[in-house]
Amino acid sequence: MSTTAATALPPANPELNALDLAELRRRAVPRLATIAEGAAERERLRQLPHEQVRALAADRLLCFRIPAAYGGAGASVRDTVQFVIDLAAVDSNVAQSLRPSFAFIEGLLARGDEAEQRRWFPRFLAGEVFGNAGWEVGGANGAVSARLRRDGEAFRASGSKYYSTGSLYADWVSAVALDEDDRPVSFVVPRDREGLELLDDFDAMGQRLTASGTTRLNDLLVQPGEIRPRVVEEGQRSIVTPFLQLFLGAVEAGIARNALTDAVAFARNHARPIKHSSAQRSVDDPYVEFAVGEISARALAAEAVILRAAERIDQAWSAGLAHDAVNLAAVEVAQAQYIAVESALKAAELLFDVGGASTTGRQHNLDRHWRNARTLANHNPRHWKAAVVGAWHLKGSEPPTSGLF
């Protein structure tokens, strides 16, 4: 992509004109099956899923929420989140890496700027992917030190970002910097823009393939037309924030279901009953049956509460994004996140109860579920989620406008 691409819309593909929810669901089935193949091995060997992300975008499986008037499916938040869970249930790394793309679309919907929608929706429909480079390390959480200065008619950005989710897979990268008046300014630039340096240096123990490493803004040219309204203004609440938090919960729910899939497969194909077991096969061992049953219950609980919270966001949209409706959605999402995290962590732990020492073999890579769930959980500590919900019930306190509720 050239650096002038921001001013030109991608060409329409006549073969992709017909798009509705049923069609997206149809496309998702074989695509998810393909992504599932080799997912554990990719994670074990740290092979970035470039091909898998591109294939999803080419299938237009990022376009659930784009309105039908623009060529999308016009799907509900619930339908979209169901797909995210299904995707995370085969590869949680791929699911999380696409969070910036889904968030970008949700921001366009929330702002309701028709010109912006006409500009960006066609890019998603053409299979383009968006990454994020907003957060930094070294200062207070959420603090921005990157700078944006005027350079003639344009601007130049300098600084370093971390947690650049999905950027290595992206066509476009969004970032935030402080202008000369110390105000945060959001902008989006093409991935191949000179001065935009993306490093594959993410070293977390889990979610290692989300391309969430360092982004350097090396005197990066930013055109005036690439400056964008902030998704969420400081001190204000947007419906996009509960959606972003729910997305993390959906990935946790997918991890819990993936742990169930691996537990069943391991018990059937690899495990042997312990010497004093009453069973001749592991699938007949009552304690293996119990472990798999509990994992299944945890996965079901996680998915159920996430989908319930998604419905609450849909209700907020139906209520015209009224203040109280958005607050209620934020509270429900916080509760759902708490349960989804707890369920995913427990499901991933119980997985090791379906077999003996062989479950810890590196070739099986079963520990990835716990590592991935734990890494995601540390993005936003769940104890704060519960405390905020408690304050809501006890005192009527509204959730913080920190960007995490």
Q: What is the CATH number of the domain that holds 156?
A: 2.40.110.10
pLDDT of residue 6: 37
Burial readout 231-244 (b: 16 or more C-beta within 10 A, e: otherwise): bbeeeebbbbbbbb
User: What confidence category does residue 3 fall into, taking pLDDT thresholds of 50, 70 and 90?
Assistant: very low
pLDDT of residue 163: 87
Whether residue 136 lies inside any domain: the answer is no
Q: What does the pLDDT average to over 11-21? A: 59
Say whether pTM exceeds 0.75: yes
Whether residue 1 is predicted with pLDDT greater than 60 in this model: the reply is no
Q: Of the candidates 173, 194, 228, which is a domain's last residue?
A: 228
Whether residue 107 lies inside any domain: the answer is yes
Indicate if 391 and 245 belong to the same structural domain: yes
Whether residue 86 lies inside any domain: the answer is yes
Whether residue 135 lies inside any domain: the answer is no
Q: What does the pLDDT average to over 32-39? A: 97
Q: Of the candidates 228, 255, 286, which is a domain's last residue?
A: 228
Whether residue 24 is predicted with pLDDT greater than 80 in this model: the reply is yes
Cβ atoms of residues 127 and 114 within 8 Å = no
Least confident of 7-11, 197-201, 206-210, 217-221: 7-11
Whether residue 402 lies inside any domain: the answer is no
Indicate if 156 and 273 belong to the same structural domain: no
Indicate if 251 and 217 belong to the same structural domain: no
Least confident of 15-24, 116-125, 144-153, 349-358: 15-24
State the Cα torsion 131-132-133-139 to the nearest 10°: -150
Neighbours of 8 (CB within 10 A): 8
Q: Of the candidates 228, 256, 289, which is a domain's last residue?
A: 228
Give Dmax over CA atoms of the chain in angstroms: 80
Whether residue 2 is predicted with pLDDT greater than 70 in this model: the reply is no
Whether residue 264 is predicted with pLDDT greater than 80 in this model: the reply is yes
Whether residue 274 is predicted with pLDDT greater than 90 in this model: the reply is no
User: What confidence category does residue 200 fall into, taking pLDDT thresholds of 50, 70 and 90?
Assistant: very high
pLDDT of residue 275: 67
Indicate if 120 and 157 belong to the same structural domain: no
Average pLDDT of the chain?
91
Whether residue 129 is predicted with pLDDT greater than 60 in this model: the reply is yes
Rounded CA gap, 57 and 59, in Å?
Answer: 5
Whether residue 308 lies inside any domain: the answer is yes
Q: Which of 371, 365, 370, 364 is nearest to 347 (CA)?
A: 370
CATH number at residue 110: 1.10.540.10
Indicate if 80 and 165 belong to the same structural domain: no
Indicate if 186 and 281 belong to the same structural domain: no
Indicate if 385 and 249 belong to the same structural domain: yes
User: What confidence category does residue 17 fall into, taking pLDDT thresholds of 50, 70 and 90?
Assistant: low
pLDDT of residue 380: 85
Q: Which two tokens stand for residue 398?
A: 């509204």
pLDDT digits (tens, 9 = 90+) for 54-65: 999 999 999 999
pLDDT of residue 18: 62
By CB atoms closer than 10 A (0-12, 13-18, 19+), residue 165 is: buried
Q: What does the pLDDT average to over 321-330? A: 97
pLDDT of residue 234: 62
pLDDT of residue 141: 61
Domains held by the chain: number: 3
Whether residue 138 lies inside any domain: the answer is no
Whether residue 233 is predicted with pLDDT greater than 90 in this model: the reply is no
Domain that holds residue 178: 147-228
Indicate if 268 and 337 belong to the same structural domain: yes
pLDDT digits (tens, 9 = 90+) for 102-127: 999 999 999 999 999 999 999 999 99
Of residues 113 and 143, the one with the higher pLDDT is 113
CATH number at residue 325: 1.20.140.10
> Residue written as tokens 């159920």?
304
3-state secondary structure the chain: CCCCHHHCCCCCCHHHCCCCHHHHHHHHHHHHHHHHCCHHHHHHHCCCCHHHHHHHHHCCCCCCCCCHHHCCCCCCHHHHHHHHHHHHCCCHHHHHHCHHHHHHHHHHHHHCCHHHHHHHHHHHHCCCCEEEECCCCCCCCCCCCCEEEEECCEEEEEEEECCCCCHHHCCEEEEEEECCCCCEEEEEEECCCCCEEECCCCCCCCCCCCCCCCEEEEEEEECHHHEECCCCCCCCCCCHHHHHHHHHHHHHHHHHHHHHHHHHHHHHHCCCCCCCCCCCCHHHCHHHHHHHHHHHHHHHHHHHHHHHHHHHHHHHHHCCCCHHHHHHHHHHHHHHHHHHHHHHHHHHHHHHHHCCHHHHCCCCCCCHHHHHHHHHHCCCCHHHHHHHHHHHHHHCCCCCCCCCC
pLDDT digits (tens, 9 = 90+) for 382-405: 999 999 999 999 999 999 988 888
Indicate if 37 and 125 belong to the same structural domain: yes
Whether residue 212 lies inside any domain: the answer is yes
Indicate if 27 and 167 belong to the same structural domain: no
Indicate if 195 and 255 belong to the same structural domain: no
Q: Which two tokens stand for residue 380?
A: 């936003």
Of residues 283 and 28, the one with the higher pLDDT is 28
Rounded CA gap, 349 and 36, in Å?
Answer: 21
Indicate if 173 and 61 belong to the same structural domain: no
